[in-house]
Every structure is written in C-alpha cells, then in structure tokens.
C-alpha cells in the first residue's frame, strides 16, 4: 500500500518517513517545515490558526495553532508528538545524512523488498491519558504477594548468562496445565513472533496466506514483510466469515496458510464454529486459529488438533495481565512444531520472562478472578452502551468492545481531551466510524461511559 503525505504528496516510496494517523499522513520533511513555519509566524499569523486537526481530530483555537496544508490540517501539538516519534524510532535527520539522501534512497528503492517498502510500521501512539483503554491489556497488575515472589525470583537471575534456549521448564509447566504434549508446544516473544515464525516456515508451496478481514494488523504486515501474497476475504455484516468466499479462495488459490483470530480483533466476535470447521475440512495447507482472546469466551479449539493434523493454535499471556513479559504460546502436532522451531531465533524467551511466567502459572488464582471481573464488566459496559443513543455496540467475546458512532474522529478527539484513550478504527468499509474500547477497571469503564454520554448528548 503506497501512502502519500497529505501536505507535499510525496509517496511512501520516496519519503524517508511517513507517519499516518486516521486517514492522513505527513512526511518527516513536512513535519520539520511546518514546525519552522509555526515557530516563525506568531499565533494568528499562520495561514489558518483555528480548526480541527486531521491527525488528533481536536478542534483548536486560542493558544494552539493549526496549520492548513494541501489536503489536511495539523496542530502544533501533533507536530511535536510526531517529531518525537521520528526521533524515537528513526533518529533525527542530520545535514550529513541529507547529503547522502540520493544514495540511501536508491539503496532503499532497489534493495528493500517491495512488500516492506509498501508497509507502515506498526505504531502505538504515545498519547498522555488518565484512562488508558486502547491496548487490549488487562487493567490489573500483580497482587502484592505474587509481586514479592516475582521480585525474589528476578533477583536470582544470572543476567550475564543466556537463558535456557528451549524454555524447557516453562514449556513443561504449560504442558502440565494444558494437558498438551510438551513436544507440541513452542513459545514466542509474544504471539506476534509466532505468527512471523509460522509464516516464515509455511510459505514454501504457493506462497499465499488467506485470512478474513478486518483482523489483527500484524497478519498483513508479516505477509508482506515475508513476501507472502495475502488473500483477504471480507467478513460479512455481522463480522462472521463468508464461508462461500473463503472456500472459493481455498479452491482457487490453494494458500499455504489460513489465519483466523477467534474471537477476532478488532471486531470482538467469535466466528461460527461450522464456518471454522468448513475451512479446516477444505484446507490443504496449515490452519492457524489465534485464540489471543480465548480466555474471555471460554471456547478453545485445542482438542481438535487430535482430529486435524494441519491445525495449530495460538495463545498469549498478554491479554490476561502479562503483556509486559511478552509470552506467546503455540500448540500443534509435534512434527509441525519441529519445523517451525527451526526458524526460531536463539534465546527468544528471555530469562525474566521464563522465570516470571513460571511464578505466575504456579499462583494463577488471581488471574482467574480478574478474568471473571473483566467478563462481568464487559457485559455491563455492553449493556450500558446499548442504552446510549448515538452509539451502536457490537457483541463481544473478548476484553474489548467495538462500537459505531456518527463521527468517530470527532468522538476520539473529544474523549482524548477528557483524558480517555481508546482506539479509532475509522476507515472506509466495514469499520466506518468504528472505535474500540478495552475493558478496564470498573471506575475506568464508568469514566469512559460518562464521558461518552456527555459528548454524544451535547
Ligand atoms: N493476535 C491477536 C488477535 C491480537 O489482537 C494480538 C495483540 N493485539 C496478538 C495476536 C499479539 O499479541 P502478543 O504479541 O502480545 O502475544
């Protein structure tokens, strides 16, 4: 996908860095230029000083300035934030670097994979907020007694040594808990890494991957980065799989991999079981069911690995309270896991993650309690959202809820101004004017609901 800067219209093929938010983009050179212009002219003297910034969707006036570009407006705060993002991720452009631009540019255009050139990096904006409901994380930290055990464990780690390259003890523990053979379990630095490993391994046939959309964005990113051809099958109006389209795709394209997240992100629903089975029955390649949110609906396809040798199941510890230790788990037949394990980088699970995960799994009562609370809160928030006029909430089996309003960009900006951060998914098509709110602590959910009611009733 080629992105164009909304200000100078340079394309992502030619610009060093383009940052995209909502439907608008700005390149690094325009950020620098707008910053200079804003500094040079005083408030009120720029071409436009008021109006809604296309990036944060906030309506500015008074002490903040807004710059009117060719196809978008940008406010001084967003310019600052994006400049920091570039510094953080890519380093600042120096004058010397500029002189080398032509060479660097030619190396990029001739040597970087076309799939990678067309990508935008997975980005998580670092917005300051009082209530953070954007990342599908758990709002609960460790209870004091478990925290003390974790700290004690961490203090005994020999940091100068490599960790166990095969995470043997941790995999054995997971095997005991899940009653799944140890040899069929592989761990990743988050399930993100496992998605990448699966795609690296299973792309030796047609080099194609089929998946329903919209779904978790890393699926497409991994496909393009690894040179797989994505076969995207649009979900129906209820966000379920269109089985006839999927079966047609399977028959015509014979993909090496089918990827399905159930419950799906960002839609929140589980796919119908008979559609998942229909796909399993008709796939010649490997089928991945990503159960990242499986704990919130109690449904797992794990037992089906006995029946379908081409099925692998992905899980993660990120959504149930441990996003910080980055631990994803893959279950599958031993022979398949052995192939995937060949592309695993050495020591991919660091010492701290291995040891801390063991302590947590030995003391997991609090995890189950937190899960129940999140599920109860999800159902409560869903019920309340249904009663708010101007918002249409979609049923969720996960720890977040997708909902639609008349103007998602405006609502996102207004919630941000009140210190509440959710995710804006407003794009043309199925997710038009949709936003996703993660379920937080009861008081955080109340703050969100109260702010939403206030904004939508004004
Ligand atoms: N799968 C799905 C469906 C997700 O939504 C996410 C995270 N947003 C992941 C996988 C990756 O999770 P992690 O890498 O934290 O395990």
With vertex at residue 294, the alpha carbon angle to CA 431 and CA 346, rounded to the nearest 5 degrees, is: 100
In this prediction, residue 449 carries a pLDDT of 98
- Inside any domain, residue 436: yes
DSSP state of 442: H
343 CA distance to ligand 1 centroid (A)? 20
Q: Using alpha carbons, select from 450, 454, 456, 455 the residue that is nearest to residue 131.
A: 450
Q: Which ligand 1 atom is at minimum distance from the Cα of 193?
A: 14
Q: Do 314 and 423 fall within a single domain? A: no
In this prediction, residue 267 carries a pLDDT of 98
pTM over cut 0.85: no
Q: Which ligand 1 atom is at minimum distance from the Cα of 266?
A: 5
Number of domains the chain is built from: 3
190 CA distance to ligand 1 centroid (A)? 7
312 CA distance to ligand 1 centroid (A)? 15
Q: Among the three residues 297, 327, 362, which one is the final residue of a domain in this structure?
A: 362
Q: Do 202 and 325 fall within a single domain? A: yes
259 CA distance to ligand 1 centroid (A)? 13
**Token representation of residue 456:** 């939508």
Q: Do 135 and 160 fall within a single domain? A: no
Testing ligand 1's pocket by substitution, the residue of 197, 213, 218, 348 carrying the most ligand atoms inside 8 A of its CB is 218
In this prediction, residue 95 carries a pLDDT of 35
DSSP three-state, residue 371 = helix
46 CA distance to ligand 1 centroid (A)? 43
Peptide bond connecting 374 to the previous residue in cis, omega within 30 degrees of 0: no
Q: Among the three residues 362, 394, 425, which one is the final residue of a domain in this structure?
A: 362
189 CA distance to ligand 1 centroid (A)? 11
Structural domain boundaries enclosing 46: 18-117
By residue count, the chain amounts to 458
Testing ligand 1's pocket by substitution, the residue of 211, 316, 425 carrying the most ligand atoms inside 8 A of its CB is 316
Long-range contacts of 171-177 (CB under 8 A, 24+ apart): 173/358, 173/361, 173/362, 174/329, 174/361, 177/361
Q: Do 182 and 243 fall within a single domain? A: yes
- Inside any domain, residue 79: yes
Q: Using alpha carbons, select from 370, 357, 365, 291 the residue that is nearest to residue 325.
A: 357
- Pocket, ligand 1, Cβ cutoff 6 A: 136, 190-192, 216, 261, 265, 290, 292, 316, 318, 323, 328
Q: Tell me, what CATH number does 249's domain have? A: 3.40.640.10
In this prediction, residue 11 carries a pLDDT of 77
192 CA distance to ligand 1 centroid (A)? 6
290 CA distance to ligand 1 centroid (A)? 8
- Inside any domain, residue 234: yes
- Inside any domain, residue 2: no
136 CA distance to ligand 1 centroid (A)? 9
Cα–Cα dist 168/177, whole Å: 14
- Inside any domain, residue 299: yes
Q: Which ligand 1 atom is at minimum distance from the Cα of 316?
A: 16
In this prediction, residue 236 carries a pLDDT of 98
319 CA distance to ligand 1 centroid (A)? 8
Q: Do 405 and 297 fall within a single domain? A: no
Q: Among the three residues 362, 380, 398, which one is the final residue of a domain in this structure?
A: 362
Residue whose Cα lies nearest atom 1 of ligand 1: it is 292
261 CA distance to ligand 1 centroid (A)? 9
Q: Using alpha carbons, select from 426, 428, 429, 413 the residue that is nearest to residue 77.
A: 413
Q: Do 394 and 294 fall within a single domain? A: no
Q: Which ligand 1 atom is at minimum distance from the Cα of 189?
A: 14
Q: Which ligand 1 atom is at minimum distance from the Cα of 136?
A: 8
| Contact by Cβ (8 Å): 346, 324 | no
| Contact by Cβ (8 Å): 6, 31 | no
Q: Which ligand 1 atom is at minimum distance from the Cα of 328?
A: 16
Q: Do 71 and 192 fall within a single domain? A: no
Testing ligand 1's pocket by substitution, the residue of 123, 186, 187, 191 carrying the most ligand atoms inside 8 A of its CB is 191
In this prediction, residue 168 carries a pLDDT of 97
Q: Do 80 and 192 fall within a single domain? A: no
Q: Do 78 and 58 fall within a single domain? A: yes
Q: Tell me, what CATH number does 442's domain have? A: 3.90.1150.10
Q: Exposed/middle/buried for 60, CB within 10 Å: 0-12, 13-18, 19+? A: buried
Q: Do 77 and 54 fall within a single domain? A: yes
Q: Do 183 and 291 fall within a single domain? A: yes
What is the chain's pLDDT, residue by residue, as a tens digit (458 residues)? 677 888 888 777 776 688 888 778 888 888 888 887 776 654 434 445 677 888 888 777 666 678 887 788 888 888 888 887 777 654 334 333 344 567 888 888 889 988 888 777 776 667 778 999 999 999 999 999 999 999 999 999 999 999 999 999 999 999 999 999 999 999 999 999 999 999 999 999 999 999 999 999 999 999 999 999 999 999 999 999 999 999 999 999 999 999 999 999 999 999 999 999 999 999 999 999 999 999 999 999 999 999 999 999 999 999 999 999 999 999 999 999 999 999 999 999 999 999 999 999 999 999 999 999 999 999 999 999 999 999 999 999 999 999 999 999 999 989 998 999 999 999 889 999 999 999 999 999 999 999 999 999 98
In this prediction, residue 4 carries a pLDDT of 82
- Inside any domain, residue 135: yes
- Inside any domain, residue 11: no
| Contact by Cβ (8 Å): 340, 197 | yes
Q: Do 294 and 410 fall within a single domain? A: no
- Inside any domain, residue 8: no
């Amino acid at each position: 996908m080629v992105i164009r800067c909304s200000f100078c219209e340079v394309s992502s093929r030619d610009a060093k860095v383009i940052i995209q938010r909502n439907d608008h983009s700005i390149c690094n050179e325009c950020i620098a230029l707008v910053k200079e212009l804003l500094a040079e002219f005083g408030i009120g003297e720029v071409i436009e000083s008021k109006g809604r910034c296309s990036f944060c969707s906030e309506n500015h006036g008074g002490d903040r300035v807004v710059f009117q570009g060719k196809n978008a407006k940008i406010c001084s705060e967003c310019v600052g934030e994006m400049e920091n993002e570039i510094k953080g991720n890519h380093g600042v452009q120096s004058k010397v670097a500029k002189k080398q631009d032509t060479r660097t540019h030619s190396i990029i255009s001739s040597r970087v994979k076309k799939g990678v050139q067309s990508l935008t990096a997975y980005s998580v904006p670092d917005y300051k907020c009082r209530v953070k409901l954007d990342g599908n994380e758990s709002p609960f930290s460790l209870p004091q007694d478990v925290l003390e055990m974790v700290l004690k464990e961490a203090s005994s780690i020999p940091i100068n040594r490599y960790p166990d390259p095969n995470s043997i003890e941790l995999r054995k523990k997971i095997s005991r808990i899940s009653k799944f053979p140890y040899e069929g379990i592989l761990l990743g630095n988050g399930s993100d890494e496992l998605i990448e490993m699966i795609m690296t391994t299973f792309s030796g046939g047609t080099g194609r991957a089929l998946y329903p959309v919209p779904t978790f964005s890393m699926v497409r990113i991994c496909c393009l980065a690894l040179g797989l051809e994505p076969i995207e099958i649009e979900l129906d109006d209820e966000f379920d799989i269109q089985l006839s389209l999927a079966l047609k795709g399977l028959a015509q394209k014979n993909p090496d991999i089918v990827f399905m997240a159930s419950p799906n992100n960002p839609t929140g629903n589980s796919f119908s079981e008979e559609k998942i089975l229909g796909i399993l029955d008709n796939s010649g390649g490997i089928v991945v069911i990503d159960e990242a949110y499986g704990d919130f609906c109690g449904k797992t396809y794990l037992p089906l690995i006995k029946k379908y040798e081409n099925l692998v199941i992905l899980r993660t510890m990120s959504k149930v309270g441990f996003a910080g230790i980055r631990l994803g788990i893959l279950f599958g037949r031993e022979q398949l896991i052995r192939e995937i394990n060949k592309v695993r980088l050495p020591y991919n699970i660091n010492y701290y993650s291995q040891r801390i995960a063991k302590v947590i799994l030995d003391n997991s009562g609090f995890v189950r309690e937190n899960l129940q609370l999140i599920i109860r809160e999800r159902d409560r928030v869903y019920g309340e959202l249904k009663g708010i006029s101007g918002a249409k909430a979609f049923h969720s089996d996960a720890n977040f809820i997708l909902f639609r309003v008349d103007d998602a960009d405006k609502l996102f900006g207004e919630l941000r101004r009140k210190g509440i951060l959710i995710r804006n998914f407003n794009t043309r098509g199925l997710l038009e004017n949709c936003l996703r709110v993660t379920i937080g602590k009861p008081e955080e959910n109340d703050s969100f609901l109260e702010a939403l009611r206030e904004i939508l009733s004004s």
